[in-house]
Amino acid sequence: MNNGPLLFLGIFASVATSFWMLLFAPQVQIGRQQASVIELTGERYPAVRSGAASQGAEVYRSLGCVECHSQQVRQTGANFELWLAEPGTNRPVLAATLVRLNLASAVEADKLLEKAPVKLRSALGSIEARMLAAQLTNDDAKAEAVLATLGPDIQRGWGKRLTVTQDYLGDYPVQIGNLRVGPDLANYGARSPGAGVILAHLYAPQKTMPGSMMPPYRFLFTTRRINQGEKPTLPLDVAPGYDVVPSPEAESLAAYLGSLRAETPLPEAPVPAPPTKAAPATNAPAATPAP
Amino acid sequence: MSIPSSTSASTPAEPAKVTGAEIDASCRWPLLLLFATAALWLAGSALFSLLVAIKLHKADILADCPWLTLGRLRPAVNNAFLYGFATPVAMGITLWLLCRLGRVKLAFQWPMLIVCKLWNIGVFVGIWAILAGGSTGFEWLEMPRYASGILFVAFVLFGLCAVGTFSMRRAGELYPSQWFLLGAIFWMAWSYSAANYLLVFEPVRGTFQSVINAWFTGNLINLWLAPVALAAIYYFLPLQIGQPLYSRELAAFAFWTTLFLGSFAGLSSLVGAPVPRWIGSAGTAGYLCLLAPLIANAMNWHLTSKGNCSAWKHDLVLRFLATGAVAYLALGLLNLVLSVSRVSAVTSLTYAVVAKNYLAWYGFVAMVLLGCVYAIVPRLTQVAWPSEKLIRVHFTCSALGAALIVLALLAGGVIQGFNLANPSVAFLDVVRKTIPFIGISTLGILLFLIGQVVFLLHLGQVLRACLQPFAQAICAECCGAPLKAGGKS
């Protein structure tokens, strides 16, 4: 350990090891990932952001929103739910099956059938759920094993599934964040109440959400006088006769926040799709050929 | 403080001996410039992190100034600490140790003076840009390309000076500190340039950005600041205690394991993040393996100071170093615990991560670097520290402040994590319940700030005493009149 060049070679070897294992290997695995086309809809995912939204991403970066907001939904696991999608016409038989499979008591069974589509059981394994569904499905009754994603983030309504590498392909810089002083925003667009409320929240967070810890971004807005009877731009109770006008930065930031979505089903991150009532009703006429 | 003439490493007889005083004189101006500006940045960083902490429980304060919005202030504070304070002091210590251990005078005084100025200009431009909204959005790499470019050029110049000085060494045998320092210089140059290139200049796609970012933040601590701090401990611990280093072999083991595993450890911040699972696991494995050098270092230090364990009570330099060493051990354990996936499921994305950073910065790095500044500055200036009491105040405030910050944020973070994991607690309540802990950490930051202001003033006194003769000489030459005592120097 007294030889300078040898020491240098050792240090170089450590640098090279780190390069191959920690920079090159992830590059091979995820660095070349491309936006894919979702077969079901034919749409590109992740979708290209609109001009306003990509300008808003710059405002988001510039204001350092990432210091308090993460953009990553985490999922602790998944299991299956048993749903009765359609009760069909032969209800007494179905009710008896429900009772036999211990899915409902004799009193409740009929009421459950009325409520369809209805969740019969949750926290099932994949095979268990499918076997139950198969036993309940007859000529026109239909039961389904439906995927359920688990985890506090999902229960808080921050997303329907975990976020995966594919979700971030259009982002620069990727801002997954490392502290949650504010709620996660990965899927904010899907639950956002609309640009007007987002802007009002940016202007006075404590007004739209009492108890919020978010700093107000009043510097993104200007105030102007308005005549009596004129409608204010934002749903805000500022002094009477005054109106708060969002700057272009605020508008684009709101557009960006509204564009944050991570709920497209992907092979590596499926989204729960419980049966809905509307679906069979709309499909029925299309199935019957016109006379 | 006495001026030691040699280190504990045994060296063969040299043809032309350079005295310690000559070496110190050659290092004087570049190092004093680095240390003085670093002290300013440290106090500034502490001041603004106080503002950050206040804003975290009272969001309305100074909210109308976009330059002082929380999202810009926090990265500015972090960058001021890492690049304004820690890195320049580490550069100064690196140069001084390489000169001392190599028994050579600093050969590149003028280039180093340029490096000092260039570096500070770069940091100033970078922080200005962050506050103005030009942040890149990558953790600890927020400075835009025009600032990081200046920093990179300055660092490469520094590296050339340091490696040049190393190659001119006269001492035959290398001391463990020299291994750590050389490794640190190469790693910092490599990871800073690679991370900036792949994130800012030629950006990669998707969450690979997050992987590189985590790799860099880990390297900045584990392979730049920590090795320099370890080198300083390996140098000053035997020197201040007056006993030779216990084992060179243990130190070699610690050096190579740190060097090869250090860059893995940083990836542990991605446990649970939207990246392939193995990346976070590699980080956890890295911290697990880093226990080996941790234990080796701890044993080596303990056995070196054996029989003289109470030396830190009267030696203030040693007190800083010992506190830093304890924080280093605590940091290694905390990093490992927080990166285990079950723990991380609760603590990631909470204040516990911030607590970990503060333990690394204020507990470990700042303590060791400040201890070194206390040891080196009197040798450079030939002026003793005017007041031992002020050093004690500085130490108490810094150590107590750091402990308060770390413990409060750690407790707050764990509670925040458990509440986040429980969806029946509304999100607003999760945040509200962290506020008492933020309050305690604010108190800690205030204490830390007081300590750093005391340090700044104290350093100012030493510098004034050191510069007085020069200023008087210049003044006498120009105007023929001696400068009044206490005048601006």
- What is the spatial distance between Cα A201 and Cα A180, in angstroms, rounded to a whole number? 18
Q: What is the DSSP letter of B83?
A: I
Cβ partners under 8 Å of residue B229, min gap 6:
B90, B324, B328, B364, B365, B368, B369
B349–A179 C-beta distance less than 8 A: yes
**pLDDT score of A107:** 85
| Residue B436, φ and ψ in degrees, nearest 5 | -55, -35
Q: Kindly indicate the confidence band of residue A241, based on its pLDDT and cuts at 50, 70 and 90.
A: confident
**pLDDT score of B480:** 63
| d(CA A208, nearest CA chain B) in Å | 13
Residues of A in contact with B420 (CB under 8 A): 152, 180
B206–A174 C-beta distance less than 8 A: yes
**pLDDT score of B298:** 96
B56–A213 C-beta distance less than 8 A: yes
- What is the spatial distance between Cα B404 and Cα B420, in angstroms, rounded to a whole number? 23
For helices B291-304 and B316-339, give the axis angle rounded to 10 degrees: 160
Asked if the model's pLDDT at residue A286 lies above 60, the reply is no
Q: Which residues of B399-423 are buried (b: 16+ CB within 10 A; e: fewer)?
A: bebbbbbbbbbbbbbbbbbebbbeb
A179–B203 C-beta distance less than 8 A: no
| d(CA B137, nearest CA chain A) in Å | 6
Report the phi/psi class of residue A99: left, alpha or beta, with left for phi > 0 and alpha for psi in -120 to 50.
Answer: alpha
Tens of pLDDT along chain B (489 residues) come to: 333 444 444 444 444 678 889 999 999 999 999 999 999 999 999 999 999 999 998 888 898 999 999 999 999 999 999 999 999 999 999 999 999 999 999 988 999 999 999 999 999 999 999 999 999 999 999 999 999 999 999 999 999 999 999 999 987 789 999 999 999 999 999 999 999 999 999 999 999 999 999 999 999 999 999 999 999 999 999 999 889 999 999 999 999 999 999 999 999 999 999 999 999 999 999 999 999 999 999 999 999 988 777 888 889 999 999 999 999 999 999 999 999 999 999 999 999 999 999 999 999 999 999 999 999 999 999 999 999 999 999 999 999 999 999 999 999 999 999 999 999 999 999 999 999 999 999 999 999 999 999 999 999 999 999 998 888 888 888 776 555 544 444
Query: Which pTM value belongs to this model?
Result: 0.92
DSSP B386-399: S-HHHHHHHHHHHH
**pLDDT score of B113:** 95
Query: Largest Cα–Cα distance in chain B?
Result: 79
- What is the spatial distance between Cα A73 and Cα A76, in angstroms, rounded to a whole number? 10
Structure tokens at B446: 């205030």
The verdict on A6 touching B (C-beta cutoff 8 Å) is no
The verdict on B190 touching A (C-beta cutoff 8 Å) is yes
| Residue B198, φ and ψ in degrees, nearest 5 | -80, -15
CB atoms inside a 10 Å sphere around CB B79: 23
Cβ partners under 8 Å of residue B480, min gap 6:
none
Of B236, B225, B186, nearest in space to B361 by CA: B225
Say if residues A262 and A282 touch (Cβ distance below 8 Å). Answer: no
Q: Which of A67, A74, A185 to mutate to test the interface with B (most CBs of B within 10 A)?
A: A67
pLDDT in tens, A22-75: 999 999 999 888 888 888 788 888 989 999 999 999 999 999 999 999 999 999
CA A55 to chain centre: 22
**pLDDT score of A141:** 86
- What is the spatial distance between Cα B268 and Cα B292, in angstroms, rounded to a whole number? 17
| Residue B68, φ and ψ in degrees, nearest 5 | -110, 20
B204–A209 C-beta distance less than 8 A: no
A22–B263 C-beta distance less than 8 A: yes
Q: Which of B138, B427, B429, B438 to mutate to test the interface with A (most CBs of A within 10 A)?
A: B427
**pLDDT score of A40:** 79
Of A271, A263, A270, A246, nearest in space to A188 by CA: A263
Say if residues B75 and B135 touch (Cβ distance below 8 Å). Answer: yes
Asked if the model's pLDDT at residue A186 lies above 50, the reply is yes
Residues of A in contact with B183 (CB under 8 A): 11, 14
Verify cis geometry, omega within 30 degrees of 0, for the bond prior to A235.
Answer: no
Residues of A in contact with B264 (CB under 8 A): 18, 21-22
In chain B, residues 28-67 whose CB comes closer than 8 Å to chain A: 55-57, 59-60, 63-66
**pLDDT score of B482:** 53
Of the partner residues B57, B203, B215, the one whose CB lies closest to the CB of residue A22: B215
Of the partner residues A4, A173, A181, the one whose CB lies closest to the CB of residue B137: A173
Of B347, B189, B339, nearest in space to B264 by CA: B339
B276–A30 C-beta distance less than 8 A: yes
Residues of A in contact with B282 (CB under 8 A): 21-22
Of the partner residues A1, A165, A181, the one whose CB lies closest to the CB of residue B431: A181
Q: What is the DSSP letter of A85?
A: E
B69–A162 C-beta distance less than 8 A: no
| d(CA A120, nearest CA chain B) in Å | 23
Q: What is the DSSP letter of A221?
A: E
User: What is the residue-averaged pLDDT of chain A?
Assistant: 88
**pLDDT score of A69:** 96
| Residue B430, φ and ψ in degrees, nearest 5 | -55, -50
B259–A10 C-beta distance less than 8 A: yes
In chain B, residues 208-247 whose CB comes closer than 8 Å to chain A: 208-212, 215
The verdict on B167 touching A (C-beta cutoff 8 Å) is yes
Alpha helices in chain A (DSSP H): 4-18, 25-26, 51-63, 91-100, 106-115, 126-136, 152-155, 188-191, 195-203, 205-208, 248-259, 278-287
In chain A, pLDDT over 90 holds for what percent of residues?
Answer: 55
**pLDDT score of B12:** 40
Of the partner residues B187, B256, B274, the one whose CB lies closest to the CB of residue A72: B274
Asked if the model's pLDDT at residue A278 lies above 70, the reply is no
**pLDDT score of A287:** 41
The verdict on B168 touching A (C-beta cutoff 8 Å) is no
**pLDDT score of B6:** 42
B59–A215 C-beta distance less than 8 A: yes
Structure tokens at A290: 């016109």
Mean pLDDT along residues A140-159: 92
Mean pLDDT along residues A120-142: 89
Dihedral sign from CA coordinates of A156, A158, A161, A164 = negative
